[in-house]
């Protein structure tokens, strides 16, 4: 995701945490948070960090759903489908949780 990539003084920061501090000791902004150096507000930086966290959660959720797609097969007994339905629904509803940094993941049946 390119919009989580910044360049400062010729160094590209492609990690997604705008609260990361500038690690280059001879940089005049050494040890300042990246958000401050690139001209963001702290609240804008928090939005970036939170949005990226939701992005990661959605990617993880999609993998988990894909791993259980077999449950939808026409040859799968209804009792097995019924057992897996709450888990799959909980995965779909994962983004209704309020704090993306403290997600409670459902357990497989």
Q: Give per-residue pLDDT as tens, 45-69.
A: 898 889 889 999 999 999 999 999 9
* pLDDT above 70: percentage of residues in the chain: 89
Q: Quick check: is 29 in a domain? A: yes
Q: Quick check: is 11 in a domain? A: yes
Q: Quick check: is 104 in a domain? A: no
Query: Residue 43 sits in which domain range?
Result: 2-96
Q: Quick check: is 72 in a domain? A: yes
Predicted TM-score (pTM) of this structure: 0.77
Residue 84 confidence (pLDDT) above 50: yes
Q: Quick check: is 103 in a domain? A: no
Report how far residue 83's alpha carbon sits from residue 43's, in angstroms, rounded to the nearest whole number. 42
**What is the number of domains present in the chain?**
1
Q: Quick check: is 92 in a domain? A: yes
What's the whole-number mean pLDDT along residues 87-108? 97
- Looking at residue 54, its pLDDT comes to 93
- Return all residues near 30 (Cβ < 8 A) that are at least 6 apart: 21, 22, 23, 24
Q: Quick check: is 44 in a domain? A: yes
The secondary structure element, H or E, covering residue 36 is helix 34-37
């Amino acid at each position: 995701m390119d919009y989580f990539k910044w360049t400062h003084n010729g160094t590209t920061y492609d990690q997604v945490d705008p609260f990361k501090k500038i690690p280059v000791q001879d940089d005049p902004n050494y040890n300042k948070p990246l958000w401050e150096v690139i001209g963001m507000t702290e609240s804008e930086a928090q939005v970036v960090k939170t949005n990226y966290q939701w992005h990661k959660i959605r990617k993880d959720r999609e993998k988990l759903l894909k791993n259980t797609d077999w449950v939808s097969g026409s040859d799968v007994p209804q009792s097995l489908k019924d057992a897996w339905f709450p888990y799959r629904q909980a995965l779909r509803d994962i983004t209704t949780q309020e704090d993306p940094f403290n997600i409670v993941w459902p357990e497989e049946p």
